Structure 1
Amino acid sequence: MDVLFTFVPRENQQERLQAEFPEVNFRFLYKDKSFLPTADIVVTYGEDLTAEDIESAENLKWIMVASAGIEKMPHAAIAKKEIIVSNVKGIHKTPMAESALAHVLSLKRSLPFIYESQRNREWNRKTKSSELAGSTAVLLGPGAIGSEIGRLLQAFGVKTIGCNRSGNDAEYMDEMVSIENVSAVLPDADIVLSVLPSTKETYHLLKKEHFQAMKEDAIFMNLGRGDLVEDQVMLGALENGEIGYAVLDVFEEEPLPADHPYWKMDNVIVSPHVSSHSGKYVERALDIFIPNLHDWIEGDKSPSNPVDMKRGY
């Protein structure tokens, strides 16, 4: 059996795989797809496979995506060949929840102002700091990541309102609303945070009227996918003072162009799609892949975290 990694894990992680599966031929090659035609399984971040690659992969039966998003994959080509796709849903919750909390606390406790004062050698105590306790957060997408963010926010005394398609209950949410009714809770939100995936339903989901419904000092955070908000709508909300701050980890165009207005805006934090980064990322991905590979070898062709390519998650 041939397993192709299109990224290169650390040496100790490669050794872990080879020791666990001596009968498997592993290839760890950064974006080198020359062995794709013979690969039975491909492990990828999901951004480097084309329809032509899938067509050339004569033996490919399973793609394990070491990410949650699959929007950049050639869906039709994969579906045509009935290739099984799974991902590593759940491994992002700890680093992303910590990133969300770090950004919120940083803004509430005026850390950007304090750091800037230090750089300028200014003893300036006019921080305008506020407290996180007693605030309200609306979380778009209270799944594994959103619920973990909710858990941490609740520990700081924050009221959490979850928003999903159904409006059904989710963990660590004090209230729930459906996406179609989200406008009803936006005026109460001090924080609006999205971890939604990129699907047909979420594409440009938030409109101008949603930002107009938010508090003028609200913090909007997008840690999900950049196409949740049309770029000009986001810019307009910030330039017109419809919200107080935006923390953006994802963008419609990545990398963000050097001449984009966000870079120079005082009410924007540009985070270059790093909220899920962690030294434990690949280790956690392998913790999912290894049991699935054992099952696959023994004949169970239904790995955990299967992805519905039609729904997009």
Structure 2
Amino acid sequence: MKVLFTFEITNDQKMRLENKFRDVTFQYNKKGDTTDVESVEILVTYSSEVDSSLLERAKKLKWIMTASAGVEKMPLLEIAERNITLTNVRGIHKTPMAESVLAHILALRRSLPSIYSSKESKEWSRPDDSTELMGSTALILGPGSIGSEIGRLLQAFGVKTIGCNRSGRISESMDKTIVFRDLMLELPKADYVISVLPSTPETRGLLTREHFSAMKETAVFMNFGRGDLFNETFLINALKNNEIGQAVLDVFEVEPLPLENELWTLENCVISPHVSGLSSKYVERALIIFEKNLELWIESNVNLENLINLFDGY
């Protein structure tokens, strides 16, 4: 059995794998290098590296472990037709992403941008717009592992949390859970509207112009899921017309965000270059999932953790 990594891991991590799985042959390529994919049964890579041409070359491929959470850009139907197993690293982003969301909220509510700016200009100026999280309400779109962790942290600050998903299934760290069709009822109550939704047929274009109009004029809208959740024109108009207070965006319809995109020019919009999930522990956590699944694969090839439904896309 041969396993190919198309991103670099540390020598200690290589040694651990090789000592634990002595009957497995491991090959470690640099990022994006799919040399020798023709001979591998298992491919450990990022989702952006897998396309139709790679699948055409990888005749022996049986399992793809993507070190990404999102798989929407992968050729899922072709993977299904080949009967290739696909797993991801769902869950490893929850800590850095939840901390990123909380950091942005605290920065805005405690006026940190103004404080930093005053320091740069050597101006002793006290902001007059600082407020508290205590007693506010957050509406979290996608209260899965990441959304629930965001909810847990916010509840510690006295924030009421409302989860929103397609099924209405009760989620951890949510005071209340609603379904997508009830969004319009809850949006006017939310001080923070936070999306960590994946890209699926049900979530693409989920938010409309009417949804932004229904938000509080002081609401902070945050998108840390996928950029196809809404048409960016709707958000730009809402920000320009002061229909909402602020936006914090980590994902976009087109990435990198084009220089001509009007979002760059809006003072009430924070641009984050898709970095909320970054962490020095990223690969370490991904390998924990991979090792568990490799043990299962060797034993029976069934019941793998984070198995992707190739037709639902998650």
TM-score bin, normalised by smaller chain: over 0.9
The letter for the 2-side match of 1:250 is V
Query: Partner of 2:89 in structure 1?
Result: 88
Q: Which aligned segments of 4 or more residues in structure 1 are displaced greater than 6 angstroms? A: none
Could you list the per-position Cα deviations for residues 269-308 of structure 1 after superposition, in whole angstroms to 9, with x for gaps in the alignment?
1111111111111101111110211221223343111001
Query: Partner of 1:158 in structure 2?
Result: 159
Contact 2:98 2:149 in 1 (8 A): yes
Deviation at 1:178, TM superposition (A): 0.6
Query: Partner of 2:5 in structure 1?
Result: 5
Deviation at 1:309, TM superposition (A): 1.3
Query: Partner of 1:59 in structure 2?
Result: 60
Map 1:71-150; keep pairs closer than 5 Å: 71-150=72-151
The letter for the 2-side match of 1:261 is E
Map 1:117-266; keep pairs closer than 5 Å: 117-266=118-267
Could you list the per-position Cα deviations for residues 30-71 of structure 1 after superposition, in whole angstroms to 9, with x for gaps in the alignment?
211121111100111101111121121111000111121001
1: CA distance, partners of 2:143 / 2:215? 19
Query: Partner of 1:290 in structure 2?
Result: 291
**290-299 or 195-204: which moved more?**
290-299
The letter for the 2-side match of 1:7 is F
Count of aligned residue pairs for this structure pair: 313
2: CA distance, partners of 1:308 / 1:287? 21
Deviation at 1:18, TM superposition (A): 2.1
1: CA distance, partners of 2:175 / 2:34? 47
The letter for the 1-side match of 2:206 is L
2: CA distance, partners of 1:99 / 1:173? 19
Contact 2:114 2:127 in 1 (8 A): no
Deviation at 1:197, TM superposition (A): 0.3
The letter for the 1-side match of 2:89 is V
SS at structure 2 position matched to 1:18: helix
Contact 1:55 1:77 in 2 (8 A): no
Deviation at 1:16, TM superposition (A): 2.1
2: CA distance, partners of 1:263 / 1:64? 35
Query: Partner of 1:41 in structure 2?
Result: 42
**226-235 or 296-305: which moved more?**
296-305
Deviation at 1:103, TM superposition (A): 0.6
SS at structure 2 position matched to 1:55: helix
Could you list the per-position Cα deviations for residues 212-238 of structure 1 after superposition, in whole angstroms to 9, with x for gaps in the alignment?
000111000001001101111121111
Map 1:295-310; keep pairs closer than 5 Å: 295-310=296-311
The letter for the 1-side match of 2:229 is L
2: CA distance, partners of 1:56 / 1:9? 24
Contact 2:139 2:161 in 1 (8 A): yes
The letter for the 1-side match of 2:242 is G
Deviation at 1:169, TM superposition (A): 1.3
2: CA distance, partners of 1:237 / 1:69? 28
Could you list the per-position Cα deviations for residues 178-209 of structure 1 after superposition, in whole angstroms to 9, with x for gaps in the alignment?
10111100001000000000001100110110
Provide TM-score, normalisation by structure 1. Answer: 0.97
The letter for the 1-side match of 2:83 is E
Query: Unaligned stretches of 5+ in structure 2?
Result: none
Query: Partner of 1:22 in structure 2?
Result: 22
Query: Unaligned stretches of 5+ in structure 1?
Result: none
2: CA distance, partners of 1:126 / 1:175? 34
- Identity of aligned pairs, percent? 55
Deviation at 1:14, TM superposition (A): 2.2
SS at structure 1 position matched to 2:48: coil
Contact 1:113 1:127 in 2 (8 A): no
The letter for the 1-side match of 2:160 is K
Contact 1:193 1:220 in 2 (8 A): yes
**182-191 or 1-10: which moved more?**
1-10
